């Protein structure tokens, strides 16, 4: 069994030690949850939703502790509060949407066999493992756990070992709602605990890197259980010739650097029409140079530190590779202090697609900018990636729409960036290595946790075997 020590945040404070849940602990938890799940599924929808409402109240009450824990682990205050607000918003969203989604008319007459009437029964998948990353620890667990619970599943959650502090206050809130506690458990640990949770579950929701997603997908394939994989991105932003340059620079900066670029939908590649290129680079560099870091106090400045310091090493290696291969640095770079690492937004030009920062996810506030001559070239450049999570296009609306529709990206924000962080009711499916499985956004966010059982009723006398007996046909 592994012992984990998560470092104190870079400004000091105590470290956080925990023991990972062993495979035996995971099995015991899975057994308990699986035993309770049928009773939870048998409740009326409004009864399950009342439990979720009571939990919302408990979460609000424990809000300050949750936010303090998230702030300690992520090194950012405002976004930790936003994470809690976002999580409460998700619960409210599913409380409002679930009754209609779970009572959809599901009976009729078959078009291919008109004597057969059918009815659909929706059966929750059972025990769902939710394995989540460190960049938004609370939100990225609850984004899957809440609709799974609303659908009648039990949930065994395994959050990232790098951001464990929120689990204590979270589970205190869960314990205050006994009906929920019976079907929702969160276990701390690293890859071994995650793998055990996957092995114990009837379905898995995984949010994380492509490398781990491949392992989770392969194991789910071996076990033949449903897998919903939300993986990395390398999101492009295109500034068309008819965009407003000043606005475009502002949107690009925010879309790339917010949360220190540690968001899956961060802008990591920027393509600008040649006619705007010089003005755009000048404005972006000026705005990026004015961004402040919270090196002194967590409640000051625009950007927090890297949550996992190893991420700083990766960003540094990508920058070194770009500079060694001819890139020009306009501003920004790594700032290391007392064991913590920050990054002032980096603007680069003279870049090309063979550089590491185009081939790998960056997860940092790095903006490589490249000019293009026409829409076709912009589209080709944006699509030249194995990732396909989301994208952004800035320009006159009809023009931007025509370009957006040709991008290989699950969601495209027009005249803004990263709109998927605000819009949770619209379905989207990733392209390439950015994800597999039905959308976590929109109605399928809940419906994917239900197996549809077809009850098929024959309304005329059933065909006897003799109807299928070969008989010698007489020549006409």
Which H, E and C letters describe 231-298, residue by residue?
A: CCCCEEEEECCCCCHHHHHHHHHHHHHHHHHCCCCCEEEEEEECCCHHHHHHHHHHHHHCCCECCCCC
Is 199 within 8 Å of 219 (Cβ atoms)?
A: yes
| Residue 122 annotated to the active site | no
Residue closer to ligand NAD (CB basis): 187 or 347: 187
CB of 113 to ligand NAD, least distance (A): 41
CB of 148 to ligand NAD, least distance (A): 16
Closest CA to 198 of 212, 221, 216, 186: 216
The active-site residue out of 230, 268, 331, 343 is: 230
CB of 264 to ligand NAD, least distance (A): 3
CB of 128 to ligand NAD, least distance (A): 14
CB of 154 to ligand NAD, least distance (A): 18
Residue closer to ligand NAD (CB basis): 4 or 118: 4
Is 150 within 8 Å of 225 (Cβ atoms)?
A: no
Q: How far apart are CA 284 and CA 255, in angstroms?
A: 12
Residue closer to ligand NAD (CB basis): 126 or 159: 159
Chain positions contacting ligand NAD, by CB under 6 A: 131-135, 140, 158-161, 190-191, 194-195, 198, 207-209, 212, 215-216, 230-233, 264, 361, 363, 389, 435
Residue closer to ligand NAD (CB basis): 135 or 185: 135
CB of 462 to ligand NAD, least distance (A): 48
Residue of this chain nearest to ligand NAD (CB atom) = 194
Q: How far apart are CA 411 and CA 388, in angstroms?
A: 9
The active-site residue out of 56, 186, 264, 343 is: 264
Residue closer to ligand NAD (CB basis): 340 or 371: 340
Indicate the length of the chain as a whole number.
476
Is 242 within 8 Å of 399 (Cβ atoms)?
A: yes
SS3 (DSSP) at 40:
helix
Residue closer to ligand NAD (CB basis): 55 or 134: 134
- Sorted by sequence, the CB contacts under 8 Å of residue 306 that are 6+ apart come out as 260, 262, 312, 315, 340, 341, 342, 343, 364
| Residue 396 annotated to the active site | no
CB of 389 to ligand NAD, least distance (A): 6
Residue closer to ligand NAD (CB basis): 139 or 272: 139
In angstroms, the Cα distances linking 59 to 151, 160, 390, 459 are 20, 20, 31, 51
Give the H/E segment covering residue 221: helix 210-223
Q: How far apart are CA 317 and CA 357, in angstroms?
A: 9
Q: How far apart are CA 164 and CA 161, in angstroms?
A: 6
Helix, strand, coil fractions of the chain, as percent rounded to 5: 40, 20, 35
Catalytic positions, written as ranges = 230, 264
């Amino acid at each position: 069994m592994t012992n984990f020590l998560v470092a104190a945040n870079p400004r000091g404070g105590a470290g956080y030690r925990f023991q990972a849940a062993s495979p035996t602990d995971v099995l015991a938890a899975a057994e308990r949850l699986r035993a309770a799940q049928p009773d939870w599924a048998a409740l009326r929808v409004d009864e399950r939703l009342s439990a979720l409402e009571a939990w919302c109240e408990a979460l609000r009450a424990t809000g300050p502790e949750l936010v303090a824990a998230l702030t300690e682990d992520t090194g950012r205050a405002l976004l930790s509060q936003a994470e809690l607000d976002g999580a409460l918003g998700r619960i409210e969203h599913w409380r409002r949407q679930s009754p209609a989604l779970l009572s959809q008319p599901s009976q009729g007459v078959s078009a291919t066999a008109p004597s057969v009437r059918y009815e659909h029964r929706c059966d929750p998948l059972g025990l769902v493992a939710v394995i989540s990353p460190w960049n938004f620890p609370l939100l990225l667990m609850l984004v899957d756990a809440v609709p799974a619970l609303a659908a009648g599943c039990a949930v065994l959650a395994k959050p990232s070992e790098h951001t464990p502090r929120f689990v204590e206050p979270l589970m205190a809130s869960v314990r205050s709602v006994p009906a929920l506690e019976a079907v929702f458990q969160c276990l701390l640990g690293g890859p071994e605990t995650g793998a055990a949770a996957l092995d114990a579950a009837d379905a898995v929701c995984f949010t994380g890197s492509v490398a781990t997603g491949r392992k989770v997908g392969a194991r789910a394939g071996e076990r033949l259980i449903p897998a919903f994989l939300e993986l990395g991105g390398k999101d492009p932003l295109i500034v068309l010739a008819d965009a407003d340059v000043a606005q475009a620079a502002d949107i690009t900066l925010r879309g790339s650097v917010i949360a220190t670029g540690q968001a899956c939908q961060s802008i990591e590649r920027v393509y600008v029409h040649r006619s705007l290129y010089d003005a755009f680079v000048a404005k972006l560099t000026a705005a990026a140079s004015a961004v402040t870091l919270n090196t002194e106090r967590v409640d000051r400045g625009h950007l927090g530190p890297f949550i996992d310091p190893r991420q700083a090493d990766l960003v540094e290696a990508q920058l070194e590779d770009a500079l060694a291969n001819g890139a020009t640095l306009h501003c920004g770079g790594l700032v290391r202090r007392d064991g913590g690492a920050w990054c002032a937004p980096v603007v680069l030009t003279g870049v090309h697609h063979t550089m590491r920062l185009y081939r790998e996810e960056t997860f940092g506030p790095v903006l490589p900018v490249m000019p293009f001559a026409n829409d076709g070239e912009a589209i080709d450049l944006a699509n030249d990636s194995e990732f396909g999570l989301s994208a952004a296009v800035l320009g006159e609306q009809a023009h931007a729409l025509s370009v957006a529709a040709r991008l290989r990206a699950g969601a495209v924000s027009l005249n803004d960036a990263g709109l998927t962080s605000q819009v949770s009711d619209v379905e989207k499916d990733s392209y390439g290595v950015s994800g597999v499985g039905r959308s976590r956004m929109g109605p399928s966010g809940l419906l994917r946790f239900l197996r549809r059982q077809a009850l098929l009723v024959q309304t005329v006398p059933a065909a006897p075997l003799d109807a299928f007996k070969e008989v010698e046909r007489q020549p006409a």
